[in-house]
Structures are given as C-alpha cells and as structure tokens.
Amino acid sequence: MILIADGGSTKADWIALDSDKKEIFRVRTLGLNPAVVAKEELTNRIVNMFQLINIKDEVEQIHFYGAGCGTPKPVAILNDVMSTIFTNAAITISEDMLAAVYAASGKEPAIVCILGTGSNSCYFDGEKMHMKVASLGYSLMDEASGNHFGKQLIRDFYYNKMPKRISQEFNSQFNLDADYIKFNLYRQPNPNMYLASFAKFMFEFKDDKYIKKIIKKGFQEFFKFRILPFNPIEGTPIYFIGSIAFYFRDILEKIAKKNGLKITDIIQRPIDNLLEFHRNHIN
C-alpha cells in the first residue's frame, strides 16, 4: 500500500493507493508542519486518524510533501514520527513546494507559487526547483499568505485603522481579547494557523474598499519579493496553489497584469493533480 500526502500548516490531505495505484480511500488530518508543531502533537494528529492507523502495518511507501519540510531538522523530526508509526514503510519527505510543482506544471518549466496559510515560490526548470531566497516562515516572511493577512487585520483592529463597520463585524466574529490572542500566539501549537484563521473574514468582505486595499498590497509584495526576482519574461507559465490565491483570483490576476504578467492557472487543492503525477511518473 502507498500513502501520498500533501500537508500544509492547516491541514494535510492523504490518499491511500493499492499496489496498482488505485485509490482506496482519502482522509484529512490537521496540519503536520514540523517547524511549528511539537513532535508529540505531530504523532497525535496521525494516530488519531483511525483510517491511517488501521492500515499502518500494510503501508510500504509514504510520499509526504509538507510545509516546514524545506530544511533537514524538521524533516528529521517528521521522519522519526512517521517511521515509529508506519514501521514497514519507506518514507520520503519533501517540502510542499515540490508538491505544488508536480501538481501545477508537472515536468514543464514554470514559476510555481503557494498562497495558503503560508506562502512561497520557486522557478522549476523541468528538473530542479530554484529558490531566490529561503523561506523563513510566518514571523518574517510569508507575504500575502493567510497568516500575513490575519496579522494585518489584528494589528489594524488594535491600532484603530479599520473602518468602523468592518471593525464592528470583525469584533463580533472573533475573540479579540489581548490575553486570548497572546495565549494562542505564544502558548499554543500552530500560531501561523491561528493567524490564518482570521483571513477567512476577508472572504466575506472582499468587495469592501479597505479589504481590497490590504489584499492588493499583500499581492504586490508577493510579486515584488517572490516572482519578479526570477526576471520572468512574457509567456512564462505562472501557477498558484492555495485558498488565498483561489478565492481572490480576480485581484491576483489584476496584480499580475499590473506587473506585465499573466497567471496560467490557480489550483485550490493540489492533491488530485499530485495523485495523477505519481501515477504517471513515480514508481
């Protein structure tokens, strides 16, 4: 049996395949980002999904693509967790950027971007990914991501920069007590996921002038730091993966046009495309 997983910080989609690569089932767990989630919690998030535990001894291969898996230390943590649970499996752990590439362009050269809970980008030359800069995560980078926008909304609320109507709506939908916010940011797992949970507010008010301004500014920053440094020429395929890109597609396409570029496609969830790539290219 083979497990393929696309794991963001908020959620991880799993697909189980038989030896002929036919789908048996699929499930979703909480996110498994080893850079921000403690080892014990990573274990709990897997073992609490009974469909995975029921077949743990039958799994021979795991191909896991995850947020936070771009450097050796977190990969080693997650590998240790998985090898303890799936004792008979050969485990391959790669960063979520590679899953985005496989799901979007497959084997074709392209600029591939992630705009979800976090954000990232690369240029794929058909064989290898090329990064202009390493991602330092939600505290320092992640431009235009869910956690980026969530942070902006909270700051604007506290600094009284929100229009009154938006501020009242925001206050009615979230617990904005300072101690509660700090507890979730500094004492709980997945602070990036917590910040991103505020971004859903923007979906409801995407036509509001204030919200549009925030989104446009965030997307322009992403282009400035994550796309334009690749010096893309007209016609270069550009793909986006993730809910932020998907739900604000119209604004994203306008920002691309402003920068003389055109988006090839936007994919909300890459797991289905990733599955097809594995069926066609990976043994």
Domain coordinates in residue numbering, the chain: 2-99+271-281
**Mean pLDDT computed over 46-60:** 95
How distant is the alpha carbon of residue 5 from its chain centre?
13
Which tokens in the block code for residue 105? Answer: 């362009």
Query: Residue 30: what pLDDT?
Result: 92
pLDDT band, residue 158 (cuts 50/70/90): very high
What whole-number distance in Å separates Cα of residue 107 and Cα of residue 70?
20
User: Over pLDDT 70: what percentage of the chain?
Assistant: 100
pLDDT band, residue 235 (cuts 50/70/90): confident
pLDDT band, residue 138 (cuts 50/70/90): confident
Q: Where in 149-270 does DSSP place strands (E)?
A: 238-241, 265-267
Query: Residue 15: what pLDDT?
Result: 96
DSSP lists the bridge partners of residue 64 as: 5, 93
The sign one gets for the Cα dihedral 121, 125, 130, 132 is negative
pLDDT band, residue 245 (cuts 50/70/90): very high
What whole-number distance in Å separates Cα of residue 77 and Cα of residue 82?
9
Mode of pairing for the β-strands spanning 238-241 and 265-267? parallel
Question: Mean pLDDT for the chain?
Answer: 93
What whole-number distance in Å separates Cα of residue 238 and Cα of residue 90?
33
CB 200 within 8 A of CB 158: no
Q: Which residue has the higher pLDDT, 249 or 283?
A: 249
User: Is the model's pLDDT at 282 over the cut of 80?
Assistant: no
Type and span of the H or E element at 85: helix 72-85
User: Is the model's pLDDT at 151 over the cut of 90?
Assistant: yes
pLDDT band, residue 244 (cuts 50/70/90): very high
What whole-number distance in Å separates Cα of residue 226 and Cα of residue 122?
8
Q: In angstroms, what is the C-alpha Rg of the chain?
A: 19
pLDDT band, residue 281 (cuts 50/70/90): confident
**Angle at CA of residue 140, ends 256 and 67, nearest 5°:** 75
User: Is the model's pLDDT at 270 over the cut of 90?
Assistant: no
Q: CATH assignment of 2-99+271-281?
A: 3.30.420.40
Query: Residue 9: what pLDDT?
Result: 82
Query: Residue 252: what pLDDT?
Result: 97
